[in-house]
Structure 1
C-alpha cells in the first residue's frame, strides 16, 4: 500500500491550524487597537526570534535535555541498518542516530527538516521490543520527520508564545507605555485577553499534537506494512511505563511532546493536558489501517 494521506485527519490538522491563525489575527487586532505603538511589535519580534531559535536548534536542545548522544554506525550496526532500510522505504535521507541511556522505554525524532533530522531511542526500548516492534516505532519517528512536524508545531506555538510574553510583561507594563490610569486599564484588558488566548492556543496545539501522532502511526503502518507490530509495541511500552520509577520519568518529562508515548511521573499538571492520544484510540486507528492494508 503506497503512502496516502488520511484526508479526514488532514482536514482536522488544517482546521486546527486555521483556528490558530484566526486566534492570532483577533489577538493582534486587540493589541494594535489598545497599544498602537512599537512595543507590541517588539513583543512579536521577540516571539519570532524565540521561534527561530526553537526551529533551528530544536535537535541540539532536545539531545541536550534528554542526555542523548549521537552514535557511530559501528557502535550499533543493527540499529543503523534498520533505520537505513526504513529511510529507503520512506524515501528519506538517513538521519543522525542517537541513543539515550534511560530506563524509560521510548523513542523520538527532532530536527527542522529531513536533512537535519535526528532519530533517537533509549537503550531500554531496544531491550524491551522485538525487531519488528522496534522497526515499527522507528518508522513512527521517521514519519514525524517526513511530515515535517517540528515545523508544524513551531508555527503552531507562535500565538501561545506571544500571549505568554504579554502575560509576563503585564507586571512590567511601565516599560511599555507609562503609568497613567488609562494605559493601566488597557494593560489589564490585554492581560485578560492574553490569558484567554494562551489557554485556547495551548488547547489547539495539544489537539494538533494528538493529530500528528495519529498521522505518524499511520505513516509507520504504511512504511512497514505491519501495523500489528506497532500495536504490540505501544502495548508493551505503555505496560512497561507503569513500572518505571517516577523519578526516572520525571528526568525526561520535559521531552514528552517528542516521545512516542509520554513518560508521566504523576507529579505534574502535564497529565491534565495530553500531547498524545490515548493508547486505546491509537490501537483502534491502527486496526482500521490494518484492514485497509489487507484489503478486507
Structure 2
C-alpha cells in the first residue's frame, strides 16, 4: 500500500543490499559450522523462535520495555489529533498511540507493518515541545512505519542473535575438544567462538550503518511531508539540548533502546564510536534539514 511519504530509493536500496550481505554472511556462517561438525540446529531453532517472537510481538515488547501505555483519543486528544492529521496527509492507516512516563524527551515507532504499528512519545517530550515541533517528530516516526524499516531492522538483527548465541554456547560449554583428525591445533570450541564473534561484529556494523541511514531517511520524509524542515531541526536541537539536563542514570537506563528512539539518549562520540552509533551525528541531521529547507525555499 503506497503512502504520500516521499519514496526513498536510497533507503530501499540500502535495505536490500544489507539484507543480501547479511544473508550471504549467514550462509557462510552456517557452512563453517557444518564444516566444523557442529550441530547448530538447536541454536538456529532458538534464534529463529526469538526472531519470530520479536517480529510478531515487537510492538508489545517495545512498549513493555519502555514503560509505554496505549492511550485513547479521550485521554490524549491533542496527540491523537496530530497523528490523525499526519496519517491523513500521508494516506496511511493510523497506528496505535501510546505515552511512556519518562522525563527523557523522546519518541519511537515499532510494529511489523502499518496495521500493527504503535507510535509512542514520552511525557518529557510532550512537556518540552510545542505543537509544530511535536508534529515534526511524529512525522519522522510515522515515516519509519510507512517505509517498513522497523520490520527490516528486526529481521536484520537475526544473524547477530544467532552469532551471539553461538558465542555464548561455545564460551560456556564448548563443542568438543581438538580437531577430529588427530592433528592437534585449536580446540573446536575456540574456533567456533572466534568465527561467531567475527560474524557478530560484521552483522553489527552492517545493521548500525543501515540504522543511521534510516534515521536520515525518516528526517527527510518527515520534513517533506510537513513542508517544515526547520521546525524538525528545531525539535532535534531542543531535544539534544534537553538531554544534557537529564540525570545520567536515567539516560543510561534509556540507552539500550537507542535504536528505537527519535534521538539517542546518550550520543556516541566521533571516530570509531560513530561507526557503532544507531543515529547519525546531530550536525549531519541538521545539515540535511537545512539543505531541504533551502530546496523548498522556506523553513
Across the aligned residues of Structure 1 and Structure 2, the Cα RMSD in angstroms comes to 2.3
Q: Cα–Cα, structure 1 residues 79 and 276, in superposed 2: closer, same or farther, change >3 Å?
A: same
* 1:182 corresponds to which of 159, 179, 183: 179
Contact 2:6–2:225 (8 Å) recurs in 1 = no
Q: How does 1:127-146 map to 2 (within 5 A)?
A: 127-146=127-146
| Corresponding position: 1:171 with 2:171 | yes
What is the Cα deviation at residue 191 of structure 1?
1.3
After superposition, the C-alpha distances for 1:22-77 in whole angstroms (9 at most, x for unaligned) are 22122121112112x6x212221211111011111111111111111111111111
Aligned residue number for residue 290 of structure 2 = 287
Considering fraction of residues, name the structure with more helix: 1
After superposition, the C-alpha distances for 1:143-172 in whole angstroms (9 at most, x for unaligned) are 111111221111111111111111011135
- Matches of 1:54 and 1:256, distance apart in 2: 17
Q: Aligned with 1:102: secondary structure?
A: coil
Q: How does 1:170-249 map to 2 (within 5 A)?
A: 170-173=170-173, 179-182=176-179, 185-249=187-251
After superposition, the C-alpha distances for 1:84-103 in whole angstroms (9 at most, x for unaligned) are 01011112211111111111
Aligned length: 287
* 1:251 corresponds to which of 247, 250, 253: 253
Aligned residue number for residue 42 of structure 1 = 42
What is the Cα deviation at residue 188 of structure 1?
2.0
Q: Which runs of 5+ in 1 are unaligned?
A: none
- Matches of 1:22 and 1:70, distance apart in 2: 39
Aligned residue number for residue 183 of structure 2 = none
Following TM superposition, where does structure 1 have runs of at least 4 consecutive aligned residues deviating by more than 6 angstroms? none
Aligned residue number for residue 59 of structure 2 = 59
* 1:27 corresponds to which of 18, 26, 29: 29
Q: Which runs of 5+ in 2 are unaligned?
A: 181-185
Question: Given the two structures, how large is their TM-score scaled by the length of structure 2?
Answer: 0.89
Contact 1:247–1:265 (8 Å) recurs in 2 = no
